[in-house]
């Protein structure tokens, strides 16, 4: 299975995760890294979520320096990873379940979106907006003992009623190779691919077609140290300049430290075959 140091020729055909390359790894230890759950970006700022007990926050960071520019305090169940689309941030709230919406121009408050139909397992561990349709997608978590992840479910966003309306005709039935579990985050590319971060052992990034659900081999193995409490969290697609290179996928790997503050490892990958 490919890993973080892979570097192979890129095909012009379907995505091949074995060609993806880690171009930058940055470890942070600051206020936003405690229980950091995910990342999104708009080219000007990064947005990260912190599920820190008693101090849950959404952070707006400078895209180059990663310095905090603004914060938004929230109160909820488990705060999950964010997804960005058209000046709006959508943030998963796993245990309610619900989704927060934040207008990025003001970054002052959250709109609370409720599900018309409870998601599978009554949980919303992650969300991703399809940039081509504007639909919101999520899945169950797939923890051991429960059902594995085999489908991503679609919802239309009713902004007036603050509702997420089930759109089952747009669900994607995943052609999963074997089982897929512990899905911590997902992102959908403009070119029509879904990438999921799976905090299994080994931890993997798995790539699917949004059109027919087929999986592209092989899953990309992400190096992590489970003995240090490291776990994969949310992932975002944004083609941007990084370390003198072009990066497309941006992944949070959380280094859980107790009783000290958690570190967040941001891993950024070149994935040219995901670009339009």
Model confidence pLDDT, tens digit, residues 77-100: 999 999 999 999 999 999 899 999
pLDDT at residue number 5: 47
What's the mean pLDDT in 118-146?
Answer: 94
- If one compares 5 and 218, the residue with the highest pLDDT of the two is 218
Whether 186 has a pLDDT exceeding 60, the answer reads yes
List the domain boundaries for the chain: 17-274
Whether residue 76 contacts residue 93, with contact meaning beta carbons closer than 8 Å, is answered with: yes
What's the mean pLDDT in 97-116?
Answer: 97
pLDDT band at 11 (very low <50, low <70, confident <90, very high): very low
State percent of the chain over pLDDT 90: 86
What's the mean pLDDT in 201-226?
Answer: 94
Domain 17-274 CATH (choose: 3.90.1200.10, 3.40.640.10, 3.30.420.40, 2.120.10.30): 2.120.10.30
Q: Report the Cα–Cα distance between both ends of the chain, in Å, rounded.
A: 26
Residues contacting 33, CB < 8 A, separation 6+: 50, 261, 262, 263, 264
pLDDT band at 260 (very low <50, low <70, confident <90, very high): confident
- Rounded to whole angstroms, the Cα distance separating 11 from 130 reads 24
pLDDT band at 3 (very low <50, low <70, confident <90, very high): low
- Strands laid side by side in the 68-73 sheet: 36-41, 45-50, 57-62, 68-73
Whether residue 38 contacts residue 126, with contact meaning beta carbons closer than 8 Å, is answered with: yes
CA atoms within 13 A on the CB side of 15: 29
Whether 263 has a pLDDT exceeding 70, the answer reads yes
pLDDT at residue number 10: 37
Write a three-state SS string for 167-228: CHHHCEECECCCCCCCEEEEEECCCCEEEEEECCCCEEEEEEECCCCEEEEEEEEECCCHHH
pLDDT band at 177 (very low <50, low <70, confident <90, very high): confident
Please give the mean pLDDT across all residues of the chain. 93
What's the mean pLDDT in 179-202?
Answer: 97
Whether 48 has a pLDDT exceeding 90, the answer reads yes
Burial string for 52-81 (b: 16+ CB within 10 Å, else e) reads: beeebbbbbbeeeebeeeeebebebebbbb
What's the mean pLDDT in 236-260?
Answer: 93
Dihedral sign for Cα 47, 160, 123, 138, please.
Answer: negative
Please state the pTM of the whole predicted model: 0.94
Query: What are the pLDDT digits (tens) for 23-45?
Result: 999 999 999 999 999 999 999 99
pLDDT at residue number 258: 80
Nearest to 154 by CA among 206, 194, 183: 194
State percent of the chain over pLDDT 70: 95
- Rounded to whole angstroms, the Cα distance separating 89 from 201 reads 30
Question: Per DSSP, what are the bridge partners of residue 10?
Answer: none
- Rounded to whole angstroms, the Cα distance separating 134 from 156 reads 7
């Amino acid at each position: 299975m490919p890993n973080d140091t892979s570097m192979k020729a890129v095909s012009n055909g379907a995505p091949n995760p074995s060609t993806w390359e880690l171009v930058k790894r940055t470890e942070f230890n600051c206020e936003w890294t405690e229980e950091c759950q995910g990342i999104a970006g708009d080219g000007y700022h990064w947005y990260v979520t912190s599920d820190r007990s008693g101090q849950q926050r959404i952070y707006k960071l400078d895209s180059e320096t990663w310095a905090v520019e603004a914060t938004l305090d929230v109160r909820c169940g488990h705060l999950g990873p964010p997804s960005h689309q058209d000046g709006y941030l959508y943030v998963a709230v796993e245990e309610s379940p619900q989704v927060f919406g934040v207008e990025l121009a003001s970054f002052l408050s959250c709109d609370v979106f409720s599900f018309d139909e409870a998601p599978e397992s009554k949980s919303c561990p992650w969300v991703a907006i399809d940039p081509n349709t504007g639909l919101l997608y999520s899945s169950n978590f797939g923890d051991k003992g429960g059902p594995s992840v085999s489908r991503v479910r679609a919802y239309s966003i009713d902004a007036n009623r603050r509702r997420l309306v089930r759109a089952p005709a747009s669900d994607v039935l995943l052609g999963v190779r074997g089982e897929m579990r512990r899905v911590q985050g997902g992102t959908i590319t403009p070119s029509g691919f879904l990438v999921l971060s799976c905090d299994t052992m080994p931890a993997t990034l798995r790539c699917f077609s949004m059109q027919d659900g087929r999986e592209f081999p092989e899953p990309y193995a992400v190096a992590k140290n489970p003995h240090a409490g490291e776990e994969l969290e949310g992932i975002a697609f944004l083609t941007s300049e990084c370390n003198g290179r072009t990066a497309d996928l941006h992944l949070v790997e959380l280094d859980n430290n107790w009783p000290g503050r958690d570190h967040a490892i941001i891993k950024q990958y070149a994935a040219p075959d995901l670009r339009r």
